[in-house]
Structures are given as structure tokens and as C-alpha cells.
Structure 1
Amino acid sequence: MKKYNVAIVGATGMVGQTMLKVLLERNFPMSGLKLLASARSADSTVELEGKEYKIEAAEPAAFEGVDFAFFSAGGDVSLELAPEAVKRGTIVVDNSSAFRMDADVPLVVPEVNPDALVGHKGLIANPNCSTIQLVVALKPLQDISPMKRIVVSTYQAVSGAGKEAVDELVDQCRAVIEGNELVKTMIPHKGAKKNHQIAFNVVPQLDVFLDNDYTKEEMKVVKETRKIMGLPDLGVSSFAVRVPVMNGHSESVNIEFTAPITVEEAREALAKFPGIIVVDNPAELLYPMPWDCNGKDEVFVGRIRKDDSVEHGLNMWVVSDNIRKGAATNSIQIAECIIEKGLC
């Protein structure tokens, strides 16, 4: 089997370190590995499973001879360095939102739209974490009965805002219990003109507000779902909420179809679909929860039931590890799909 030189950009972050872990777990065919980060992190090390990996500075020359580069260092870094990597013959899988809605850049979830990779120009966008788990759960249902409208509310873990947000949740929980003053810097986002407590609280804002009073996060779900599903006119309404959970996003999904679909048909189609695990037994109080999905790569679906308020409607609950399937694992799967299809 051919092996490839690989680089991870943003290797010191939560997603970057998970990318390294997933590459090793999945035995990705690597002949060489570079871990890249900002100049201030250069010459530091990342340790995984007892082995130390040296960090190099992320700069254009670092991509010479690199076959695949996985970017997870933010949109500004991607805008600066991804084109430089592509110029040098590197296939870039970018985890930021910088290129997702570019018509020339495939936005890919391998279980859903692998054919979008055909004809790629060296740059592939990895979707938003909440979009990934949503479209995986939608695809097998769309194949049975075309969808008319989707209403999705996301309950997103603080890991989606990075390690600092996870640490802040832990520190705030301790402060509330001990009666100490809370430090609030990360929610709804770093640099916001006002920050909120997340411990023992729920915050109905992720990212900044847009002119339509939806947040940037909510509109990502709307636009990305349409692009990935190839349904530009699909009705999608999104509400994004930050919850005091360390890791694992949950979604309440309501779907209106154009033709009949039964709960039994939906459950069977979901259970057969690659990358989905159905956990749906209300009588035994079995349904997906973030704690149970932590560290796993599948999308978990439960609470599948009929929506009697419309002619052809279903409700379901969708949960997945947002750092793995929602970011790192999906990125690696894209590269695996490129190799499998002979597109590199």
C-alpha cells in the first residue's frame, strides 16, 4: 500500500491532538508526519501514548513534500496557509469555516456525499461539527422520502469552544459549589462584549449575531446542510444553544417529509446506515446521551417518533462526539475516501 506524508496544522489544540490520535488508531498509511502550529509553539512537544512529537512552525515551506494536510488552527490560518499548501501539491482538508461555502470547494461527509470529492482542486472543507452529525442522520431518511423542512435545535458542549472553555466550565462548577467568584471569559465566545456563566446554566447563543438575529453558528447549519445534501431549496431552521456538557453535541431534529414514512421504516434505515447506531427503547429508558458517546466515532440516534402536527413528520434525537466525528475523524475519513477513490 502506498504511504503518504501527512501534516497537522494546529497540532497543539484539542482537535489537532485528536486528529493525531485518530490517524494512529485508524492506521492511516503514513510515511512521514509533521505537527505544525504557530511560531510560539515551535520546538515544543505533544505527547500521545507515551511518545513525544515535536512541533514545527506552520509556514509555507513546511508543506514541501506533504501529501495530506489537516488544518485545525482557525479561519485566518487556513486562509493564509491552505492555498500555499495546495500550490505545493498538498491535499488540504480544512476544519475551519473559511472555504465551506465556496462553490469550488467540496464540503464533505463521506457517508453522505463522497462523490463531491470527484474533481476536487486540492482543497476540501470539513463541515461544522453540528452539521456533520445532522446530515449523517438525515441522509438515510431522505433516501426513503424526500424532505420538505427541517427544524433543528442543537445543544452544544463547551469543547466546541476549545480547551479553555472546558477548563472554564470545570472552574466555574467548583466556584459555584464553593461559593467563590466566577471567572467568565469564553461563553458565548471569547472577546464578546459580555460573557456569561455556563456552569449550571444554558446560553442560547453560539458565535456572533448576524443581521437576521440568527447566530453565525445557526446559519452555518442551514447553509451547510443544503450544500452537503444537494438540496439548495430545503427549508432549514436552526437554533444553537450552549449547555454545561464537556463533550458531545446533542440535537433535537424535526423533519417534515413530502411523502409518507413510518417510524419503523425510519428506524430500520437508520440502523442499516454506515456510521449510525440506533439507541431507541423508551420502555427501557434507552436513548443517546453525550456521556455515552464520548470517545466514539458514530452518530447515535434515538427518540424516533411520529410528529402528528404535520401530515408526514418525524422527531428524533441525535448525539455525537463533536471533537471526533464532528471534526477530527470526519477529516481523516475524507482523506481515506480520496485515497480509496484514487483521487490523489
Structure 2
Amino acid sequence: MGYRVAVVGATGNVGREIIQTLADREFPVDELIALASERSVGREVSFGEDEVVKVQDLAKFDFQGVDLVLSSPGAKVSAVYSPKAAAAGAVVIDNTSHFRVDPDVPLIVPEVNREAIAGYTAKGIIANPNCSTIQMVVALKPLHDLQRIRRVVVSTYQSTSGGGKESMDELFNQTRGIYMNEPIRPKRFTKQIAFNVIPHIDVFMDDGSTKEEWKMTVETKKILDPGIKVHATCVRVPVFVGHAEAVNVEFEGPVDEDEIRAALRAAPGISLVDHRQDEGYVTPVESAGSDPVYVSRVRMDPTVDNAVSLWVVSDNLRKGAALNTVQIAECLVEDYLS
């Protein structure tokens, strides 16, 4: 049995990656519909090796008869069109931030809380978490099962692709401009991103946190355990694709390093690459284009009782967005729609 699948935001970074992932994983698509804004109408996107799909106007599209909508157009657009698609009978998997904290919308990472997908019937919408949250909770899940986590302190090193194609272009143009002795004029970022790091992602909140840091806190609680305390510092770095995180995890009881490594090694979606030597770890560049969440630099923290530090890396466009979306769709097909 195949499905009519609409991809909203089909011409963006994540939309293109979703379409590629559907093809790579041989998702049962009878018809792929590519949707975007009016300015993209008529453009063509490739689906698999042989099929080319023309982009249609989202504003004029009738979702009647569509089975699944994989949506990544931006929060404001999604707020309008995801409910319309759900009202027409489709199940929507939404990549934007708009529905993530809605109590009637499940927030899903299949390796962590697949069972929560059942809640999609409330509104016909499933939310895909923030990219930085996804890779962290995949790494935390087997540890939380081993020994309950009390607190997490995380510093992120997030690539420019998390801000979209224009952010990647700004990194490229600024880097080239520095070599050409051209003046730096930030547009997408608040400060120079080339050869620099910026401790500021999304807007500032009243307590001094940025919204990206707030997202990691509230989403981890919703996905994994509301009792976990999370303190995040989110930083944009001059990398095109791939997010990295330095994660310190404090447990409620004793933990053993060998047990931690065994739990990580056995967990779905994780690749443990941790050799205490040169090149014995994974960097963002190496994660680009691959599916796993990589965990490296596993070591006990001697300054806190029952704590471990990890280095967690993943392709933010794949597991952080497109792959997780398609995995949710696969779970829906297997458990609810077949």
C-alpha cells in the first residue's frame, strides 16, 4: 500500500532533504506532491533517481485525499496550513516550532518516545523537535534507562544550516569577503559568523536565555522526562552542516563507565566512536550526510557525584530534521495507518 505524501516547504534545505530521505528509505509513496510559496511554483525537485516533481502553490492547494503532510515551511506558515491539512484528513508531521509545546500535539523522536505518537489523533498533527534537542535526547535515552537523569548541562556548537540556506550563504560570502578584504556586513546573524562564534540563537527571553536554549529545556522535558533539569548555552559556529554538543549528565544514583558505554553502544540510532587517541572522535564535518547520532569523548566527571561528559554530533538536516520526520512517518504507517 502506498500513500499520497505532500512535502510543504519542498524547496528549502529541510524540504529537499525530506524528499531525498523518502527516496533513500524507499518510503511507500504512490504520489509525491511538492508545495511551496508562490515564488517557487513551477520549479522542479528530484525524487529518487528518475522522478521529477513540479512545485505547486501551497496557498492554492487542496489537501483533500492527501494521507501524510511533511511540513517545514516556517512557523508562521505552518500555523496556518498544518491545521488545514489535518482538517482535510491528512496526518501532519510538522518540523517547525509552532506546535512543539502544544499539550495536544505529541513531540516525537522515535528512538525515545515512539509510543507517544498515539496522541496524534487529538489534532492530526505530530511535532518534530528542535534539531539540537533531537540529537541530545537520542543520546540521553539509554542513559536515562540505565539510571535516572537528574540534570543536564549542555553547550551547543550549531552549524549555519540550522538558520536556512541564507545563513549558509552568509558564512560563505563573509569567508570569501575576508580573503578579498571586503567589509563584513552581517544580515542573517547579529555579528560576523566567518572565523567567529556567536552565543546567540533565536530571540532573547526575560531571564537572559535565548529561545533556542529554552526550546532545549522544555522539549527535553516533554520528550524524555519532566523531572530532568536542563541548562543550555546555544552557540552558532562557522560550520555549514552538522551540530555538535558538549553534554554533562548528572544521575540520581551511581553509574559505571563501562555500563554507560554498553548502553550507548546498544541503543538504536547511536554510533559510539570513542577512541582516546588522535582522530578517535567524530566532528560535524564527518557527520554531514549520515544518519546516526555520534557519541564520543565519554568520560566520568570527577567534580560531581554520578556524572558523565559526552560529545554528541549529528547532521542537523538529517536526524535533526528530515530523517526524524520520515522515521515518524514510518512509525505511523507501521502502527496506525496500515
TM-score, with length taken from structure 2: 0.97
Task: Give the drift of 1:47.
Answer: 4.0
Residue 77 of structure 2 is aligned to residue 77 of structure 1: yes
Task: Give the drift of 1:50.
Answer: 6.3
Residue 285 of structure 2 is aligned to residue 291 of structure 1: yes
State the AA in 1 paired with 2:116.
Answer: A
* Rounded Cα–Cα distance in structure 1 between residues aligned with 2:272 and 2:227: 29
State the AA in 1 paired with 2:216.
Answer: V
Q: Is the 8 A contact 1:130 1:249 kept in 2?
A: yes
Pick one of 166, 174, 186 that aligns with 1:164: 166
CA displacement 1:210-237 (0-9 Å, x = unmatched): 11110000000000000000x2121110
Identity %: 48
Pick one of 196, 204, 212 that aligns with 1:209: 204
CA displacement 1:86-118 (0-9 Å, x = unmatched): 111100000001010011100000000000011
Task: Give the drift of 1:343.
Answer: 4.5
Residue 210 of structure 2 is aligned to residue 219 of structure 1: no
Residue 179 of structure 1 aligns with which residue? Answer: 181
* Rounded Cα–Cα distance in structure 1 between residues aligned with 2:127 and 2:104: 10
- Give the secondary structure class of the aligned counterpart of 2:5: strand
* Rounded Cα–Cα distance in structure 2 between residues aligned with 1:115 and 1:5: 24
For structure 2, the residue ranges without an aligned partner over 5 or more in a row are none
- Give the secondary structure class of the aligned counterpart of 1:62: coil
- Give the secondary structure class of the aligned counterpart of 1:28: coil
Q: Which moved more, 1:21-30 or 1:35-44?
A: 35-44
TM-score, with length taken from structure 1: 0.95
Residue 114 of structure 2 aligns with which residue? Answer: 114
Pick one of 139, 142, 153 that aligns with 1:140: 142
Pick one of 228, 232, 235 that aligns with 1:238: 232
State the AA in 1 paired with 2:230.
Answer: V
Residue 313 of structure 2 is aligned to residue 319 of structure 1: yes
* Rounded Cα–Cα distance in structure 1 between residues aligned with 2:323 and 2:116: 18
- Give the secondary structure class of the aligned counterpart of 1:169: helix
Residue 244 of structure 2 aligns with which residue? Answer: 250
Q: Is the 8 A contact 2:32 2:53 kept in 1?
A: no
State the AA in 1 paired with 2:56.
Answer: E
CA displacement 1:260-288 (0-9 Å, x = unmatched): 11111111110111110011001343111
- For this pair of structures, how many residues does the alignment match? 335
Q: Is the 8 A contact 1:11 1:35 kept in 2?
A: yes
* Rounded Cα–Cα distance in structure 1 between residues aligned with 2:329 and 2:255: 34
Residue 149 of structure 1 aligns with which residue? Answer: 151
* Rounded Cα–Cα distance in structure 2 between residues aligned with 1:62 and 1:110: 29
Q: Is the 8 A contact 1:159 1:323 kept in 2?
A: yes
Q: Is the 8 A contact 1:168 1:183 kept in 2?
A: no
Residue 267 of structure 2 aligns with which residue? Answer: 273
Q: Is the 8 A contact 1:60 1:81 kept in 2?
A: no
State the AA in 1 paired with 2:140.
Answer: L
Task: Give the drift of 1:340.
Answer: 1.0
Residue 303 of structure 1 aligns with which residue? Answer: 297
* Rounded Cα–Cα distance in structure 1 between residues aligned with 2:252 and 2:309: 15
Q: Is the 8 A contact 1:271 1:278 kept in 2?
A: yes
For structure 1, the residue ranges without an aligned partner over 5 or more in a row are 188-194
